[in-house]
Each structure stands twice: as C-alpha cells, then as structure tokens.
C-alpha cells in the first residue's frame, strides 16, 4: 500500500517545499495539499523533482472562510468567481505538475439551482483540465463538520459522475467523511471503485491518526487492495502531537 501525506494537515510547521521534503524523509510515497497558492508553482515543481514524489491533488480556493464559505462551485450567484478559481487551480496544477484538482462545491440549500450550477461548473472544470491531462475530483464531505455542504453522500457523487460522463471526473472517497455520513465503507468502495480517483483516511470520530477509532483500517486497506485499487491512500488527519511522532500507524496498518 502506498501512502500520500496531505500537507494541509501534516508537516504544517514547514513551508510547502520543505513539507514535501519532510514527507519524503518520513517514508511517504506521494503528497497532496489543500491551498498551495502562496507558493510559486516552480518551487513546488522543484521540490517534487528533488524528492521524486508526486503531488496528487490540490483544492480550488474555498472563498471567504471567515464568512462561512467552503467552496464556490455550487453557488449560483458566484459563477464567475467559481470559474476564476477553477481556472487558477488548473493553471497552478499544470505549472506545478499536480495530478488532480478537487473542485469544492460549497454550502447550499441543496436545491436544483445549486445542483445545476455545480454540474455546469464541473463540466467547465473538465474542459480546462482535459487540456493538461489533469483529473477533476469531487468529494462528499460530512455535514457534521461542514453543515450545509452541497455534496455529502457517495450516492449524490455517483449521480453526478454518471450524468456528466466526463472521463476526467472522479470521486475522492474520504473514509472519515463517509463513515460519519453512511458507514458500510467496504461495500460502498466495492460498488464505486471504477469511479474513485483517490482514497483518504483518518480515524473516526476524532480525525486523528488512522490506527485508532472505530474503523479497522488494517482490514479495510487490505480490502481496498483486493478490489484492485492501484492509487495512493491519502493520510488526511490532524496529528495528536507532531506529525513525526504519530507516524507509527504506517507500519501498523501494513503489518503482516
């Protein structure tokens, strides 16, 4: 099993290039991030070349988080802003050598206008990403942590992927979010595997290191491997202390 360090949560004491180097030194096979836009893309590309790691993904800018924004793509009154941020994310990913862009939906009333807006913006994102060979990801996020998030279940994500029929578009399956929202992770992963572009893990309910909590990741990761998943497993959790101090899970989850 190959693990990716999510640098939005891990090694945050470093700037992004040094966080990439720290992830390499810690034994991660790849990295991913949230909002890298303060780092010039050429600096990221140089750090990736130096370490030999892949940067799997980044997020579109979420908007004004202080005002409650958590994404823009499903907000009908902010289409121009959403598309500008999608373009910025795709351009950054292309310049830095990033594999995928996660398009953040945002908080909505869940109505038809929001859904139509989200699908339209995703089509636009796929058009832009296809020019660079970049994937587009959508991620169901639990509504306990992010109340009102437009996309919160795998069924909804699957309907979008099926409706749009874009080869660039895949589901980011975060086991933490989906255990909270619906459980039955193994069966859901089995059904969705052809539509999954990335898998992430963290303990439930505290979103800490994944060798604790109510999900048996040692068993689940073996099941994911048996299903033929050949991607990376993204470690997107909040360390209980320092990132380095909590990395024993990497051996625990893969022990024979």
User: What percentage of the chain carries pLDDT values higher than 90?
Assistant: 98
Say what the alpha-carbon torsion angle 106, 167, 6, 149 is, to the nearest 10 degrees.
Answer: 20
pLDDT for 254 equals 81
Whether 164 has a pLDDT exceeding 80, the answer reads yes
- What is the distance between the alpha carbons of residues 20 and 32, in angstroms, rounded to a whole number? 9
Q: Tell me the catalytic residues.
A: 139, 236
Structure tokens at 168: 């660039």
Query: What superfamily would CATH give domain 3-252?
Result: Divalent-metal-dependent TIM barrel enzymes (3.20.20.150)
The pLDDT mean for the chain works out to: 97
Structure tokens at 31: 């990295």
Domain residue ranges of the chain, discontinuous segments joined by +: 3-252
Tens digits of residue pLDDT in 49-79: 999 999 999 999 999 999 999 999 999 999 9
User: What percentage of the chain carries pLDDT values higher than 70?
Assistant: 99
Region for 165 from its dihedrals, namely left if φ exceeds 0, alpha if ψ lies in -120 to 50, beta otherwise: left
Tens digits of residue pLDDT in 10-61: 999 999 999 999 999 999 999 999 999 999 999 999 999 999 999 999 999 9
* 208 contacts 242 by C-beta, under 8 angstroms: no
Q: What are the Cα distances from residue 154, in Å, to 29, 130, 160, 198, 256?
A: 27, 24, 10, 13, 31
Q: Within a 10 A sphere around the Cβ of 64, how many other Cβ atoms? A: 10
Whether 255 has a pLDDT exceeding 90, the answer reads no
Whether 256 has a pLDDT exceeding 90, the answer reads no
Tens digits of residue pLDDT in 132-156: 999 999 999 999 999 999 999 999 9
pLDDT for 1 equals 87
Tens digits of residue pLDDT in 171-184: 999 999 999 999 99
Whether 197 has a pLDDT exceeding 80, the answer reads yes
């Amino acid at each position: 099993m190959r693990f990716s360090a999510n640098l939005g949560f891990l090694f945050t004491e470093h700037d992004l290039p040094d966080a990439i180097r720290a992830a390499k030194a810690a034994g991660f096979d790849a990295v991913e991030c949230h909002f890298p836009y303060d780092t010039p893309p050429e600096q990221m590309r140089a750090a990736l070349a130096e370490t030999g790691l892949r940067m799997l993904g980044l997020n579109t800018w979420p908007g004004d988080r202080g005002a409650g924004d958590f994404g823009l793509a499903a907000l009908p009154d902010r289409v121009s802003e959403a598309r500008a941020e999608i373009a910025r994310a795709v351009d950054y990913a292309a310049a830095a050598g990033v594999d995928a862009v996660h398009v953040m939906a945002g908080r909505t009333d869940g109505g038809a206008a929001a859904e139509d807006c989200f699908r339209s913006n995703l089509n636009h994102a796929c058009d832009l990403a296809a020019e660079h060979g970049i994937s587009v990801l959508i991620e169901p996020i639990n509504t306990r942590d992010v109340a009102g998030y437009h996309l919160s279940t795998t069924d909804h994500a699957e309907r979008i992927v099926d409706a749009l029929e874009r080869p660039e578009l895949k589901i980011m399956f975060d086991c933490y979010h989906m255990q909270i929202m619906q459980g039955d992770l193994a069966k859901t992963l089995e059904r969705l595997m052809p539509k999954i572009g990335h898998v992430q893990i963290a303990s439930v309910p505290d979103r800490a290191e994944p060798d604790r909590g109510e999900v048996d990741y040692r068993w689940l990761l073996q099941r994911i491997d048996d299903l033929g998943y050949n991607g990376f497993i993204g470690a997107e959790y909040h360390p209980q202390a320092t990132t380095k101090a909590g990395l024993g899970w990497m051996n625990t989850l893969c022990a024979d």
